Amino acid sequence: MRDTGVNSPAMADAGRLVVQSYLDRLLADNPGADAEVVQVPAPAICADAADALTDVSGTDTPTMPAGDRDEEWRAKPFQALLFQVHAVQFAAPLIRLQGVVPWSEEIADLPETPDWFLGLLACRDHNVRVVDTAKLVMQGQKFDVESSPGHIILLDKGRWGMTCDGLNEVVNVAPQSVQWRARKANRPWLAGTLREKLCAVLDVGALARMLERASA
């Protein structure tokens, strides 16, 4: 294909996610499952939440309330952090994150670990297990843009951190603006696709569980 400047790997990847999500939904075998989706108008973009999120120094790490909130966040409007890896944009529900730290400290390598596991990062009073997001969720893909991780996104009470090249913005998301995946036998970390932004929405809880299983 001739390079006309209007093509980008990020758009191609997001396009594939949109189509895959559409197909997954059409082929789900529980047709009645949509009925409980809350229909609310999409609120305006909340810009300054990103600043609050990127600096966690001197603040308490938010802790998750008791109970599994994996599904709760999907049912009502939520804020999502948009970040990028290899110029591919992702969205992660803010409520499922513990913060973002700049990657300025050295990560301690550990022997005999998978290639996606980068090592341990000392963060305040505990070690964060840091994973290479590109190697974890974008395996086998080729990119025109090199990854240069500058931040680590903390999840699962700060036990895990995932690298990202850049933070884009925080947006308010209405549930109906996401094409939720019906079945997640493959890529359990992929909750769905944010249509307006053409980006994958991470299921942070599923991702953390996947990491725990992989590291067990």
Partner 1 sequence: MSLVAQGARIWAVANQKGGVAKTTTALALGGLLSESQQRVLLIDLDPHASMTSYAGIDPDSVNTSVYALFDESPPGDPICATPWAGIDLVPAAPALATLDRRLNGGRGQGLVLTRWLRGVCNRYDYVFMDCAPMLGVLMVNALVASDQVLLPTQTEFLSINGVRRMARTIAMLERSQQRRLSWLVVPTLYDQRTRAATQSLQSLRDEFGHNIWDEVIPVDTKLRDASRAGLPPSAYAPRTRSVLAYRKLLDYLLASERICETPA
Q: How far is the CB of 167 from partner 1 (least distance, A)?
A: 30
CB–CB of 194/78 below 8 Å?
Answer: no
Q: How far is the CB of 190 from partner 1 (least distance, A)?
A: 12
CB–CB of 79/43 below 8 Å?
Answer: no
- Confirm or reject binding of residue 29 to partner 1 (CB under 8 A): yes
Q: How far is the CB of 37 from partner 1 (least distance, A)?
A: 11
Residue with tokens 């070690």: 127
CB–CB of 165/153 below 8 Å?
Answer: no
Q: How far is the CB of 166 from partner 1 (least distance, A)?
A: 29
Kindly tell me which of 185 and 216 has the beta carbon lying closer to partner 1.
185
Among residue numbers 185 through 214, which ones bind partner 1 (CB under 8 A)? 185-186
- Confirm or reject binding of residue 182 to partner 1 (CB under 8 A): yes
Stretch in the footprint of partner 1 (CB under 8 A) among 45-53, 108-116, 157-165, 180-188: 180-188
Measured from the Cβ of residue 176, the count of other Cβ atoms closer than 10 Å reads: 16
First to last CA, the chain: 44
Q: Which of 7, 8, 33, 55 binds partner 1 (CB under 8 A)?
A: 33
C-alpha radius of gyration, the chain, whole number: 17
Half-sphere exposure for 74 (CA within 13 Å, toward CB): 22
**Rounded to whole angstroms, how far apart are CA atoms 23 and 181?**
9
Kindly tell me which of 18 and 53 has the beta carbon lying closer to partner 1.
18
Q: How far is the CB of 49 from partner 1 (least distance, A)?
A: 30
- Confirm or reject binding of residue 26 to partner 1 (CB under 8 A): yes
CB–CB of 166/5 below 8 Å?
Answer: no
Name the residues that contact partner 1, by CB under 8 A: 16, 19-20, 22-34, 179, 182-183, 185-186
